[in-house]
Each structure stands twice: as C-alpha cells, then as structure tokens.
C-alpha cells in the first residue's frame, strides 16, 4: 500500500476508529442511552479513567447515566458536574439478593439502550439485574485473570462464563486482557472487544521540577520515586519494599512517595518500619494532584503482580517520567524494554535490578522517557478512545436493532453457524470477502458496516494469522496451488465514497490490499443504486480522481457493469453493452486493462461466461458463499458477504465457513444461479 492514507491509518490501525465521512443518519440526533453500573465511584484508576472518558464523549451520540450499588464515592460530584446523573441502588450486604430486582426495576424504567457494567461486583450483580431485559448488555475486563487465590478465581471465572451467555460483549482494556479472558477465563473470543485506555494528556505546567517540589513540599536534593496505587496484593507493595532495601544500599538519596490507600496500608507501614525503610518513604494517601506529583518525579515504579492496562503508568509516560514496570498484563503492549522504559519480572530482586538500571544510567532513562512521551501522545489520546467507545456502542446497538423480533431465529442461526464452523480452513483454499459500504450510521442498512465493526474485523484477521492477498495474486496462487494457510482477499462492490474515506485508511494501516468493483454510472453521477434513490442527503460514490488515487496507493479495480442491472433480467446483447461500457471507462480511468468482474447482486446466467471471456476478463465473482478451491470455475468464484447485521461472532463464523451451507441454500431458492 502507498502512503496516501497514512495520516488517518495511523489512528485507525490501533483498535477501531470512528469514521467521520459516512452517511449522516436520521438517527444521529437520538443518542444511544447507556447505563454504566459501578460498585462505587472512588478516586481509583478505572473510575478516574471513566470520568476523563465522559468528558470527551459526544453528547449528540452518547447519553450517560451511572448506577452505583455500594456507595457514591469521591468522584460522584465530578460526574454530576458534567450533567451525568448518579443513582444509588444500595447493596446492603455482601449477599443481598434483593439488589437484583431493584437494579432490574431501575433499568426497566430508565429508557436505556445499553447497560455497561464495570469491575467484578458490578459485573456480577449488574448483569444479573439486566438479564432478560430488551437491552444490549456489556461488561468490562480491566485486569488479566488474577494469579492469587486460585480456587476463588476459578469460581469467579465460572460465574463469568455463565453470565457471558447473556452478555453481548466484553470490553477489554488491552489486547493482553482479551488474551487472558480467552485463555484463562475461557470466554468466547467473538464477544471480546479490546479497546485500549486513553489519557486526557495535560500540557506541561512550565514550571521547573525544583519549583514543583517546593510547592508540594518535597525535598529538592533527593532522588524522587513513586509507587501509585491501592495497597492491595495486586499492586505488590511488599515486593517493592524488599527491592527498595537493595536500592537504598547503593542510592541512599532515594525518597519514595507511596500514593493511595487500601486494605493493606497498615501492614505495609509496619513492614516498612520493621525493615528500617521509613526514612525513605512518604505515605501520601489518596491525591487529586497526581499529574503535578508526576512532574516532580525522577522515576515511576509499577511493581504489580498482575494488571490490565494501568492508567497511572500511561500518565507517567505522558509526563516524560522514566518508568520501571513489571512484565504483566497489558504493560508490554505499551512498554518496550530499552526503548521507552524498563521491564522486569515480578520478583523483588528483578524489581531492584530494574530500578538500579534506571538510576545508574540516567541519560538512557531520559532518552527512553522522551520516546514514551511521544508514543503516548500519538497513540493514547483520550479523544480517540472516546471515539472508539462511541463507535462500539453505536455499532452493537445497531446490530441488535437488526434482530428486532427475530431474536430466536438469530440465536438458532448463530448456534447452527457455530456447529458448522471449521476449526481452520482447508489447505489450498481462498476465502474472498465482499463488502459494500463502510459508513457511520445507525440505520439498519444491511449493506453498511460501521467503521468500528470494519476495523474490528480487520484486526481479528490480523491477530488470527490470516494472509490477506490482493485478488489478482490470490487467484494466481489458487490456480498454481501455492496459497498460504488462511488465505483471504477483500473486495468492495458498487464503489461508495466511504470505501475511500473509511475503509482505505484502515486497510492501509494494516497493509491489507483490496479490490473495488465500482458501477461506472454511479461514479459519473448518471444514476444511483435503487436502494438509495431519493435519499437526502444522497449516498456519495467514488469520483474518478479518488479511483486514480486509490489505484496509485495499491488498490485494484474491476468491472461491475455501467448501471448495475440484474443481468438475468436483460438480454445478452444488453448485458454485453453494460459490461463493455463499464470496462472501457474503467480502463480509461486506471490506464490499464480491467480483467476482474463482479456480477451485480451476484446474479448471472451461464451465457454471461462467454461474454466475459470474449471481452478479455480473466475471472468473475458471484455472491455464492464458500471457500474457493483450485477447481472452482474462474467465472463463478465464491464470495462471503459481510453485512451490517453481522456481529464479530458472526464474522468469525463466516470466516470459518459456518454459514456457507445455509446461505447457499437460501440463494438457490431465490434463483441466483439459473
């Protein structure tokens, strides 16, 4: 791929970006109403990140309500200051079953489209309360599966698997959390949606480190370290104290700030005293000025035993503070040892070695800190995260709307698709995907896949090891028997403008080739697709210049007739005129021969094979589903349609052949192959 789409692709290839040039939906002014359920709203990482996220959500697209089930917490007034209601349905004891019907009653009367639960307590009780209601149900995974208390963890995983049967999707704050949910908790991959956390990146205060230390009351002549997080087993303060004993032997000038509170705080204080480390520590409690504290530091340390994607580490990196972190959870997704930070194992000796490495080689630490600062600002801007959340919410509510009253049929279809799916494609086969539009819309337009869903599907292909080939290369290798395992090609029919605006940046970011089959009369604005006639605003199509730009960027183009008639309904002479007219125009625009063709609506007759062959076409694509084999006839190649109603689970089943038989029977009944 060329670099034509490089600017937008750099954003789109990290998770799923929201398109801005798709069809403006008449539903745009009706935001998706979401009820977020938390245990409470303390000044902790997940809750603080959600507050920053809410400040960047577009109220025209997303409306937010919060329900807490333990207590309001310190951050409740901050949310209410944003105009977000915070309701309390108290769980009066650990096993207060009465909270379930009370949550259910709140949700039933709240005019919500979607329920999103956060953290284990809310994930459990909130989902119990929402089960069976006509709402989209989403939960969150903020951490990898914990390594402590294995029996309890197994029970929690079992409960999670049961509740996931009624859950539409599970947010994962990083790819490693998604891997852990799939591998350790054994949750279905089609329901896991990784979206990395983001930061509201503050501008530097402009003050010197010494000046900030004076304001905060920190000594200017000490090497200042910080560990920021709850005093809990997960955060591994004990391991850090053991490491600190080694560090201060070589660097007695060190002073460590411990920011946070928690159930183990008194035990950590006592252990620090027993080890003689109290002179090297300051316990600061919960603080709202963490960004200022970070600007005063010489080193940030994350000694955790397990993590998801720790927000405070991202904040330290954004502030240009050198970071030493344990190699757990999603930390290695962000931190590369020796490039933008120091990674170590969780043993106290390894933590000590990492800290000493940072303190003994300060120029290297400063170089890595600058690289980290640049990475965070480019990749983890909270505004992009908010767009991804918005894209997901709107996509999954839209997908549910396609089901309507056919939920039972959809469940049967999904179950049958799972049963018929293959564990891996047969060797030497090629699956060709067919898309139409990639547009930001809430309409139930089956031709339109949202930008979020499209990027999610492309990311799945990449992560699952599929090789995406250009269609010409794929067909050559199919014929020669040299296809790699998991070979696929991507195509788009009709030539909509969003192929350029939305799909191309995602594909370019992943270096995936694709072939577009534009209807030439659509390009020239002579006619419109019959589905979109009379629309206001009009659905735009590619221009000649955009086709040329995409061609230069590495996209291929093929014929799709001039006006998009159903070829089975016109004479062979008319069909030849349609195919030839489009071929001449496309070759003029591209400056090269057009050798690939796609039948409008996938409908054809055998007489059309002779026409295509006589006009110099080498292959033609149908919409008949399945994987192509070396013996598949070149003028009747199979394609797998990806539609606007497909969830990620449906897409996975389609890639594994789960729907091929059902769709083939349906199309045969409708007379596609006469």
Which CATH number belongs to the domain containing residue 241 in this structure?
A: 3.40.50.2000
Task: Using the predicted structure, report yes or no on whether residue 576 has a pLDDT greater than 60.
Answer: yes
Are residues 460 and 596 both part of a single domain? yes
pLDDT on residue 536: 84
- Domain annotation covers residue 98: yes
Q: Phi, psi at residue 538, to the nearest 5°?
A: -70, 150
CA distance 322 to 642: 45
Q: Whole-number mean pLDDT of the chain? A: 90
pLDDT on residue 670: 62
Q: Distance of alpha carbon 267 from its chain centroid, rounded? A: 40
Are residues 84 and 213 both part of a single domain? no
pLDDT on residue 153: 79
Are residues 29 and 122 both part of a single domain? yes
pLDDT on residue 504: 96
Q: Which residues pair with 257 in a beta bridge?
A: 226, 282
Which CATH number belongs to the domain containing residue 607 in this structure?
A: 3.20.20.370
- Domain annotation covers residue 267: yes
Say if residues 103 and 130 touch (Cβ distance below 8 Å). Answer: yes
Are residues 74 and 120 both part of a single domain? yes
**Domain-ending residue, one of 363, 378, 393:** 378
Average pLDDT over residues 632-645: 95
pTM of the model: 0.80
pLDDT on residue 626: 94
Number of domains in the chain: 3
Are residues 494 and 347 both part of a single domain? no
- Residue 200's pLDDT band (cuts 50, 70, 90): confident
Identify the H or E element spanning 196.
none
**Domain-ending residue, one of 166, 194, 222:** 194
Q: 305-360, pLDDT tens digit by residue?
A: 988 888 899 999 999 999 999 999 889 989 999 999 999 999 999 999 999 999 99
Are residues 520 and 575 both part of a single domain? yes
Are residues 177 and 267 both part of a single domain? no
CA distance 614 to 597: 13
Are residues 254 and 122 both part of a single domain? no
Average pLDDT over residues 586-599: 95
- Domain annotation covers residue 143: yes
- Domain annotation covers residue 199: no
151 three-class SS: helix
pLDDT on residue 11: 35
Q: Residue 404 contacts by C-beta under 8 Å, 6 or more apart in sequence?
A: none
pLDDT on residue 142: 81
- Residue 23's pLDDT band (cuts 50, 70, 90): very low
**How many Cβ atoms from other residues are within 10 Å of residue 330's Cβ?**
26
- Domain annotation covers residue 168: yes
- Domain annotation covers residue 429: yes
Task: Using the predicted structure, report yes or no on whether residue 16 has a pLDDT greater than 50.
Answer: no
Task: Using the predicted structure, report yes or no on whether residue 408 has a pLDDT greater than 80.
Answer: no
Structure-token pair, residue 374 = 């640049």
Structure-token pair, residue 388 = 């991804």
Which candidate, 604, 638, 602, 598, places its Cα nearest to that of 620? 598
Are residues 189 and 219 both part of a single domain? no
- Domain annotation covers residue 655: yes
Q: 90-134, pLDDT tens digit by residue?
A: 998 888 999 999 999 999 999 999 999 999 899 999 999 999 899
CA distance 1 to 426: 28
Average pLDDT over residues 366-384: 92
pLDDT on residue 526: 93
- Domain annotation covers residue 400: no
Are residues 490 and 598 both part of a single domain? yes
Task: Please list the alpha-helical segments (H only) found in 91-149.
Answer: 99-108, 119-130
Return the percentage of the chain with pLDDT > 70, whole number: 93
Cα dihedral: 44, 213, 343, 271 (round 10): -70
Which structural domain range is residue 17 located in?
6-194
Q: 40-49, 148-157, 369-378, 506-515 — which is least confidently predicted?
A: 148-157
Task: Using the predicted structure, report yes or no on whether residue 612 has a pLDDT greater than 50.
Answer: yes
Are residues 133 and 259 both part of a single domain? no
Structure-token pair, residue 179 = 């891997």
Specify the higher pLDDT residue, 667 or 612: 612
Specify the higher pLDDT residue, 661 or 627: 627
- Residue 25's pLDDT band (cuts 50, 70, 90): very low
Are residues 235 and 332 both part of a single domain? yes
């Amino acid at each position: 791929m060329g670099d034509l789409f490089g600017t937008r692709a750099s954003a789109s290839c990290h998770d799923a970006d929201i398109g801005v040039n798709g069809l403006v939906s008449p539903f745009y002014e009706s935001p998706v109403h979401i009820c977020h359920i938390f245990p409470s709203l303390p000044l902790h990482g997940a809750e603080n990140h959600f507050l920053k996220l809410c400040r960047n959500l577009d109220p025209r697209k997303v409306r937010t309500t919060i329900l807490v089930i333990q207590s309001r917490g310190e951050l409740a007034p901050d949310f209410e200051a944003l105009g977000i209601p915070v309701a309390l349905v108290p769980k009066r004891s650990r096993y207060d079953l009465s909270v379930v019907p009370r949550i259910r009653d709140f949700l039933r009367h709240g005019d919500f489209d979607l329920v999103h639960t956060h953290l284990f307590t809310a994930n459990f009780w909130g989902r119990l309360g929402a089960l069976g209601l006509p709402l989209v149900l989403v939960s969150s995974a903020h951490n990898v599966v914990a390594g402590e208390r294995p029996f309890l963890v197994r029970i929690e995983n079992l409960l999670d698997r049961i509740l996931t049967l009624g859950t539409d999707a599970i947010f994962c704050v990083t790819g490693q959390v998604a891997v852990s949910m799939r591998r350790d908790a054994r949750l279905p991959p089609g329901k896991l949606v990784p979206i990395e956390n983001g930061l509201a990146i503050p501008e530097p205060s402009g003050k010197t480190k010494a000046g900030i230390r004076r304001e905060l009351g920190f000594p200017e002549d000490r090497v200042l370290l910080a560990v920021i997080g709850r005093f809990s087993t997960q955060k591994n303060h004990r391991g850090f104290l053991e490491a600190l004993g080694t560090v201060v032997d070589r660097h007695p000038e060190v002073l460590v700030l411990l920011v946070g509170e928690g159930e183990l705080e008194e035990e950590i204080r006592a252990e620090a005293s027993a080890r003689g480390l109290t002179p090297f520590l300051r316990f600061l409690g919960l603080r709202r000025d963490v960004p200022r504290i970070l600007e005063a530091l010489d080193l940030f340390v994350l000694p955790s035993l397990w993590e998801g994607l720790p927000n405070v580490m991202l904040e330290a990196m954004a502030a240009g503070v050198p970071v030493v972190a344990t190699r757990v959870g999603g930390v290695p997704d962000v931190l590369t040892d020796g490039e933008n930070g120091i990674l170590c194992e969780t043993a106290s000796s390894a933590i000590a070695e990492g800290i000493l490495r940072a303190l003994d080689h300060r120029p290297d630490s400063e170089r890595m800190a600058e690289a980290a600062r640049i990475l965070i600002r480019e990749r983890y801007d909270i505004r992009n995260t908010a767009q991804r959340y918005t894209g997901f919410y709107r996509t999954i509510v839209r997908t549910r709307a396609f089901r309507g009253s056919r939920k039972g049929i959809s469940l049967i279809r999904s179950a049958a698709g799972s049963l018929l799916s293959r564990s891996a494609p047969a060797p030497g086969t090629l699956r060709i995907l067919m898309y139409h539009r990639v547009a930001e819309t809430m309409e139930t337009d089956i031709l339109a896949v949202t930008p979020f869903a499209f990027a999610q599907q492309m990311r799945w292909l990449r992560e699952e090891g599929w090789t995406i080939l250009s269609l010409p290369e794929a067909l050559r290798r199919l014929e020669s028997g040299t296809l790699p395992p998991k070979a696929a090609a991507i195509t788009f029919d009709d030539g909509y403008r969003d192929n350029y605006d939305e799909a191309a940046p995602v594909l370019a970011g992943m270096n995936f080739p694709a072939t577009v089959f534009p209807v030439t009369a659509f390009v020239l604005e002579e006619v419109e697709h019959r589905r979109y006639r009379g629309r206001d605003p009009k659905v735009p199509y590619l221009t000649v210049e955009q086709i040329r730009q995409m061609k230069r960027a590495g996209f291929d183009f093929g014929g799709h007739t001039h006006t998009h008639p159903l070829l089975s309904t016109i004479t062979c002479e008319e069909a030849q005129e349609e195919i030839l007219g489009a071929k001449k125009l496309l070759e003029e625009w591209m400056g090269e021969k057009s050798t690939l063709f796609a039948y409008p609506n996938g409908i054809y007759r055998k007489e059309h094979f002779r026409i295509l062959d006589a006009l110099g076409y080498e292959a033609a694509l149908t919409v008949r589903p399945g994987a192509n084999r070396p013996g598949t006839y070149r003028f009747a190649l199979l394609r797998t349609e990806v539609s606007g109603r497909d969830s990620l689970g449906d897409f996975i089943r389609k890639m594994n052949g789960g729907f091929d038989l059902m769709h083939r029977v349906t199309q045969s009944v409708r007379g596609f192959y006469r």
